[in-house]
A and B are shown apart, each in its own frame.
Chain A
Amino acid sequence: MTTRTTPSTGVEPEEGAADGRVPILRARRLVKTFGRVVGLDGVSLELYPGEVLAVIGDNGAGKSTLIKCLTGAEIPDEGQIWLEGEPVHFKRPQDARAAGIETVYQGLAVSPALDVAANLFLGREIRRKGVLGSVFRMVDQKGMRQRARDELSSLGISTLQDVTVPVENLSGGQRQAVAVARAAAFGSKVVVLDEPTAALGVRESNQVLELIMSLRDRGIPVILISHNMPHVFEVADRIHVQRLGKRAATITPQSHSMTDAVAIMTGASRG
């Protein structure tokens, strides 16, 4: 390996990247243990504005634990997380969401019987103006549907024309698009996608990958957890390789091949 990569161990850079960019989300030396099992052993991660950062690693490498710590599902034992330069301490997933980190969990986390618009606004419904909203608690169905249409078209999701269709009538790729759109809409700062293509066929996966790229084009940084190397190399700007609870390397699709990435993942190469 001749190309230079971020060192896997030793001193972490204290401030941004070499070119002076400031990370929007930054984690430093996260440690998480479960009894005697070490999930994370001092992991650092930087996510820069407008990039797709893929997180890859073998089973048990600490991918999930890392993501759970970043999204509030687990609380790290040690280490520090910054969002837009401010230190954050998430106790619950709702905290991370309130701070602007939206997560699309593995599987298709949508409510099948509700329609597309209702799913987009689930848990944050907009009420009617005036007495109808304040006293009678009526939701603004029309307004939410219109905003759902606007959000979908601004994300370039042309496949969901009718936001009144129940989600269960959609294909897997379309459902994932609804879940991703829900995460990306409403001014979120970071979108985390956990294995978004795992349950999907070839064409549907491509739809989701296009959607990820359109998120990046809108300036929304994305963390993509995936097992699927071709998908990672297709959309990622940088690739965080997790191994044995540590960051083994951070590489780019330009600097390394898929074979190199697998070699780092499995410990055959040190990156």
Chain B
Amino acid sequence: MTQHTTEPPTSALDLAEEFLDRTTPLSRIRNTLHRYPAISPAIVLVVAVIVFGLLNERFLNPANLSLITQQVAVVGTLAVAQTLIILTAGIDLSVGAVMVLSSMVIAQSTVQAGLPAVLGLAAGLAVGLAAGALNGALVTRLKLPPFIVTLGTLSIFLALTLLYSGGATVRGREMPELLTWTGATFPVFGVNLTVGVVMMLLLYVAVAFILQKTAWGRHVYAVGDDRESARLAGISVNRVLMSVYLAAGAIIALGAWIQIGRSNAASPNAGADLNLDSITAVVIGGTSLFGGRGMVWGTLLGALIVGVFRNGLALAGLDVLWQTFAVGVLIIIAVSVDQWIRKVRA
């Protein structure tokens, strides 16, 4: 057993303080990042904006900033759903496919079936909830890994979308005005914002509030952090997981509405990149893929970082493939930083 002579002179009672005091500057930085995971993406975003602003004066134009926010609105919305699921140590590869299916149902139920716009949106919401219920049931009842479940449902939803829509795009001008309202713009301090961007921001405010201030939010973190401990603390793990997948489904349906406004159309081929882009935003935003750690604000920063990099590199005249290259580098750096931060546990 332990030899008393080899132990440090301080009392075990003060181990926490000892731990914090003995740290080097580097590990102090790590502790801070560990407690506030949104700090590193915030720094990256600020630096990126400054650098791209210096490289090209058009970057900071109000029109260009407006364009970046619009480009971020859809993936930023889906990334909220993705954040919730990743916080529970899951992953959802089907968010984009669900969004496209939902947007096609919204468009076709109003344009072809002649439903009022509000009922069309309700049908889209129902699609999102049903998809969430399916994913959630497979994860909680059959105990399948979320990766496998959503890999399967990704294909299922893509196929359903094409079968349902016949591959045809529904154009915005055929739709009731309410459906494309999310693309309407209004100026705020010289920057044109769309209704969809505002909806996305409100969604972030709401979800951040729920995650930080409600018992449900704490349970989401607890389930992702250590499922068994959460269960032993009396939390109904399956109910939390199910509610997370349902909430994600509802958020994805909102994303479908925003997507219709953004592209002024509902296209069955719209969301191919969105599955992975939403995961990218979450990961770059400092949320751990291992669950239980991260903040939804980090995800917004992550989505903005991707948007800023793509836009800034395009303005700098680089090939679009270099944008994709840069995003890949960002992901690997973000996950490396996360691994380093998580070593605090040891």
Which residues of A does B touch, CB under 8 Å?
Answer: 93-94, 97, 103, 105, 109-114, 118-119, 122-125, 127, 136-139, 141, 158-160, 162, 165-166, 168-171, 173-174, 182, 201-204, 207
Q: Which residues of A contact B31 (CB under 8 A)?
A: 169
The residues in B between 205 and 236 inclusive whose CB is less than 8 angstroms from any CB of A are 209-210, 213-216, 218-219, 221-222, 225-226, 228-230, 232-235
Inter-subunit contact A174/B16 (CB<8 Å): yes
Given contacts A168-B344, A203-B12, contact A137 B215 (CB under 8 A): yes
The residues in B between 242 and 294 inclusive whose CB is less than 8 angstroms from any CB of A are 292-293
Q: Is the interface of B mostly helix, strand, loop or mixed?
A: helix
Inter-subunit contact B221/A137 (CB<8 Å): no
Inter-subunit contact B233/A111 (CB<8 Å): yes
Q: Which residues of B contact A103 (CB under 8 A)?
A: 232
Inter-subunit contact A202/B293 (CB<8 Å): no
Can you list 12 A-B contacts (CB < 8 A)?
A: A97-B234, A111-B225, A114-B222, A122-B235, A138-B214, A139-B214, A162-B16, A165-B16, A168-B344, A169-B31, A201-B2, A202-B1
Given A111-B230, A119-B233, A173-B12, 19 more A-B residue pairs with CB atoms under 8 Å apart are A113-B221, A114-B221, A114-B222, A122-B234, A124-B234, A136-B209, A136-B213, A137-B210, A138-B214, A139-B215, A159-B13, A166-B34, A170-B16, A171-B12, A171-B15, A202-B4, A203-B2, A203-B7, A203-B11
Q: Which residues of A contact B12 (CB under 8 A)?
A: 171, 173, 201, 203-204, 207
Asked if B189 CB lies within 8 Å of chain A CBs, one says no
Contact with A along B10-26 (1 / 0, CB 8 A): 01111110011000000
* Bound-state Cα–Cα, A182 to B12, Å: 21
* Bound-state Cα–Cα, A113 to B37, Å: 12
Residue in contact with A127 in the complex, picked from B11, B19, B215, B222, CB distance below 8 Å: B215
Which residues of B does A touch, CB under 8 Å?
Answer: 1-2, 4, 7, 11-16, 19-20, 31, 34-35, 209-210, 213-216, 218-219, 221-222, 225-226, 228-230, 232-235, 292-293, 344-345
Residue in contact with A111 in the complex, picked from B210, B216, B229, CB distance below 8 Å: B229
Inter-subunit contact A114/B218 (CB<8 Å): yes
Given contacts A113-B225, A203-B7, contact A105 B16 (CB under 8 A): no
* Bound-state Cα–Cα, A182 to B209, Å: 26
Q: Which residues of B contact A165 (CB under 8 A)?
A: 16
Residue in contact with B345 in the complex, picked from A112, A118, A207, CB distance below 8 Å: A112
Q: Which residues of A contact B344 (CB under 8 A)?
A: 168-169
* Bound-state Cα–Cα, A174 to B207, Å: 32
Residue in contact with B16 in the complex, picked from A171, A202, A203, CB distance below 8 Å: A171
Q: How far is the CB of B39 from chain A (nearest CB, A)?
A: 16
Q: Which residues of B contact A158 (CB under 8 A)?
A: 13
Q: How far is the CB of B196 from chain A (nearest CB, A)?
A: 25
Inter-subunit contact B15/A122 (CB<8 Å): no
Q: Which residues of A contact B218 (CB under 8 A)?
A: 114, 118, 122, 125, 139
Given contacts A97-B234, A159-B14, A174-B16, contact A110 B215 (CB under 8 A): no
Inter-subunit contact A123/B235 (CB<8 Å): yes
* Bound-state Cα–Cα, A138 to B212, Å: 9
Given contacts A159-B13, A204-B12, contact A112 B234 (CB under 8 A): no
Chain B: CB-nearest residue to A110:
B229
* Bound-state Cα–Cα, A207 to B234, Å: 26
Q: Which residues of B contact A112 (CB under 8 A)?
A: 225-226, 292, 345
Q: How far is the CB of A130 from chain B (nearest CB, A)?
A: 14
Q: Which residues of B contact A124 (CB under 8 A)?
A: 234
Inter-subunit contact A170/B232 (CB<8 Å): no
Q: Which residues of A contact B213 (CB under 8 A)?
A: 136-139, 141
Inter-subunit contact B233/A122 (CB<8 Å): yes
Q: How far is the CB of B214 from chain A (nearest CB, A)?
A: 4
Chain B: CB-nearest residue to A203:
B12
Max count, chain A CB within 10 A of own CB: residue among B12, B213, B292? B12
Q: Which residues of B contact A111 (CB under 8 A)?
A: 221-222, 225-226, 229-230, 233, 292
Q: Which residues of B contact A123 (CB under 8 A)?
A: 219, 230, 233-235
* Bound-state Cα–Cα, A139 to B292, Å: 19
Max count, chain B CB within 10 A of own CB: residue among A93, A119, A123? A123
* Bound-state Cα–Cα, A180 to B301, Å: 39
Q: Which residues of A contact B19 (CB under 8 A)?
A: 169, 171
Q: Which residues of A contact B228 (CB under 8 A)?
A: 109
Inter-subunit contact A122/B16 (CB<8 Å): no
Chain A: CB-nearest residue to B232:
A109
Chain B: CB-nearest residue to A120:
B233
* Bound-state Cα–Cα, A160 to B14, Å: 9
Q: Which residues of B contact A207 (CB under 8 A)?
A: 12-13
Q: How far is the CB of A243 from chain B (nearest CB, A)?
A: 27
* Bound-state Cα–Cα, A45 to B20, Å: 45
Q: Which residues of A contact B219 (CB under 8 A)?
A: 122-123
* Bound-state Cα–Cα, A157 to B31, Å: 25
Inter-subunit contact B214/A202 (CB<8 Å): no
Q: How far is the CB of B55 from chain A (nearest CB, A)?
A: 39
* Bound-state Cα–Cα, A112 to B345, Å: 8
